[in-house]
Chains A and B, each alone.
Chain A
Amino acid sequence: MRRPREYLGQLELMVLLAVVSTEGDGYGVQISKCIEAASGREVSLASVYVALERLEHKGLVSSRLGEPTPQRGGRARTYFKPTASGLKEARAACSTLNRLSGGVVALKGKFA
C-alpha cells in the first residue's frame, strides 16, 4: 500500500513550478532547460521525468502526447500542464517558503 507523502521534494517543486511557467506547452527538455536556467545547474532529464511521474501520480500535473517526429527517432513528445490541485499546491509551497525565509536575518539581501 502506497503511503501519500505530505510535502513535495525540492526537485518536485522545481519541476512543478517549471511546468506552471511553461503554461501547458512544457515537455521534458523544455522543463529541464527552465530549471537549469533558474538554478544555474545541469539537471538530469531522468530526474525530471521521475519527478513528473510522481507529480502526475499525485494529480498535480496532467499530460498529453504530441506527434512523433523523425528528429526524435519517431517518438512523440509528452506535454505537461498543471492541474487545479497542482496550481494550488505550487501557490501554497511558494507562500510557505516566502513566509519561512522572510523573517530569517541570515537570508536578508539574498533575494533582492
Chain B
Amino acid sequence: MSREKPDRLATWIITRCTSDYSRDSFLGDLMEQYQERGGWWYWRQALGAVRAHTGRLIVDAADTEVSATEYIADLILWVALGMCALIQLPIYAYLLISWTSLNPSDPSVVVASTMIGGAVIAAAAIARRIRMRAVLAT
C-alpha cells in the first residue's frame, strides 16, 4: 500500500481533524515518516487523528464552564421555539391557502406548512449554534 504520495482521503481526514495551529507541522511530520513507514501507518495516523479530535472535543466541553443562567436561557429558547413551530403550523397552512390557490384539503398544504415549521426550527438551531459559540468563546 506504499505509494509515492499518501492517500488523499487519509490526508483529507487528517486535515479535517487537526487544528489550524498545528496542521502544517503535523502534515509535514506525516510526510516525513510516510516513505519510511508506509500507507498502513499513514492510515493508522488518520484514524488516530479522528480519535484525538473526538477526545479533544470531549475534554474541551468538560473544561468549559457555562453558567446556569445560560443553560436555562437556552432551554427556554428551545421550548419556546418548539411551541411556536407547532402552534404556527395552522397559521402557515392558512397563509399558504390565502396566498396561493391551493385547496385546504390538498395534501401539499400539510406538507408545505410542515416544511415551513421545520425551516423555522432549523433557523433557530443555527441561531442557537451561533449564540452558544459566542458564549463559549468568552
Contacts and interface: CB of A to CB of B under 8 A. Distances in A.
Interface of A: 1-3, 5, 27-29, 42, 44-47, 49-50, 52-53, 65, 68-69, 71-73, 75-78
Contacts of A68: 28
B136 to A, nearest CB: 8
Interface in B23-70: 24-33, 44-45, 48-49, 51-53, 55-56, 63-65
Interface stretch (B13-21, B95-103, B105-113, B119-127): B13-21
8 contacts: A27-B29, A28-B26, A44-B44, A46-B14, A46-B18, A46-B51, A53-B19, A72-B29
Nearest to B56: A50
B26 A49 contact: yes
B43 to A, nearest CB: 12
A2 to B, nearest CB: 6
Contacts of B45: 44-46
Interface residues of B, number: 29
A75 B27 contact: yes
A46 B31 CA distance: 13
Given A73-B27, A76-B25, A45 B48 contact: yes
A29 B22 contact: no
Nearest to B135: A1
A51 B93 CA distance: 54
Nearest to B52: A46
Interface string B124-138: 000000000000001
- The CB with the most chain B CB atoms within 10 A, among A1, A2, A5, is that of A1
B60 to A, nearest CB: 8
Contact of B31 (A1, A5, A65, A71): A71
Contact of B28 (A2, A3, A53, A72): A72
Contacts of B26: 28, 45-46, 49
A73 B31 contact: yes
A1 B24 contact: no
Contacts of B48: 44-47
A107 B19 CA distance: 39
Contacts of A44: 44-45, 48-49, 51-52
A50 B17 CA distance: 11
A47 B18 CA distance: 10
A44 B25 CA distance: 15
